[in-house]
A = this chain, B = another copy of it.
Amino acid sequence: MGRNDALTGMGSVQKAFALLDVVAADERGLSAKEIAAALEMPLPSVYRLLKTLVESRHLVHLKDQSRYALGYKLHALDASLHRQVGTPSAVARLVLELHSRGDAAAYYAVHRGDHVVVAHVVDSPTRRRITPMGFGFNDAAHATAFGKILLAGMDSTQRRAFLARHGLPSMTCNTIRTVEELERELHQVSEGGIAFEREEFMLGSSCLGAPVRNAAGQIVGSVAVSMDAADFDQRSAWIATLLRDTADKVGRALRATTALPQRS
């Protein structure tokens, strides 16, 4: 009864990553014993894993506290991830400019594989980004401005597949809940060239997004900003023109760099 997918094999590999997660969850790192308890594994097995992970520098052993904590290899991997996602510096500059000119947290999102992913964010202490929506965020495309832009840019087959994979999880009481309503919304997005998101992802925050197109006219990315829901109405008109301007510049910057990004 009910599909069970837990057993995909590679038990030891899964345990190794589970161990990393457990260690990552603690602010200060954990002792071997605590890890064993958390994973419900015998101590010697935990030590075996720890040894290989320390050797590969994915963990470090803080001998003085007999604790284990995350290692520096993980930073190198994240740096490689950033390289692969690859926001050109010209684009990063434009997003920064969007942040300061619009006085709001600014985002740049793209297609990557099956996902709509945030590739770059610029915010500041006074204009904070929506908390979970940092680099790598790839949920709830139907409830974000840049997500709507990128969904609107997919053909209906792709979009159907995408929505079948991800569903329409409700984030707030304003989140769009049905495919029909979403399709209507996306139609308006295509018409207007701007996506609105009014407290659909998080109460108190609203967003605006605009499409970035490649030379072929395909929508390959989106720039967006988030702001307090209270400011939304009075600022949206100015922000919309700013976004359109920024999106055009980003598109031009992309076309200037080597290979033009393709849509998924």
Contact = CB atoms under 8 A, between A and B. Distances in A.
Interface of A: 8-10, 12-14, 16-17, 20, 24-25, 27-29, 48-49, 51-53, 55-56, 58, 60-64, 69-72, 74-81, 83-84, 86, 112-115, 117, 134-138, 262, 264
Contacts of A52: 8-10, 13-14
17 contacts: A8-B55, A9-B48, A10-B16, A10-B48, A10-B49, A12-B12, A12-B13, A13-B13, A17-B58, A24-B76, A60-B112, A60-B115, A61-B114, A64-B264, A69-B113, A70-B77, A70-B80
Given A13-B49, A113-B60, A74 B81 contact: yes
A60 B13 CA distance: 17
A107 B70 CA distance: 21
A159 to B, nearest CB: 15
A13 to B, nearest CB: 5
A71 B81 CA distance: 7
Contacts of A136: 72, 75-76
In the complex, the count of this chain's copies comes to: 2
Given A17-B56, A63-B113, A74-B81, 15 more contacts: A9-B52, A12-B13, A13-B52, A14-B56, A17-B58, A24-B76, A24-B77, A27-B83, A28-B84, A60-B112, A64-B264, A70-B80, A71-B81, A75-B136, A79-B134
Contacts of A24: 76-77, 80-81, 84
A78 B78 contact: yes
Contact of A77 (B8, B20, B51): B20
A188 to B, nearest CB: 28
A25 to B, nearest CB: 7
Nearest to A51: B8
A196 B11 CA distance: 50
A17 B71 CA distance: 13
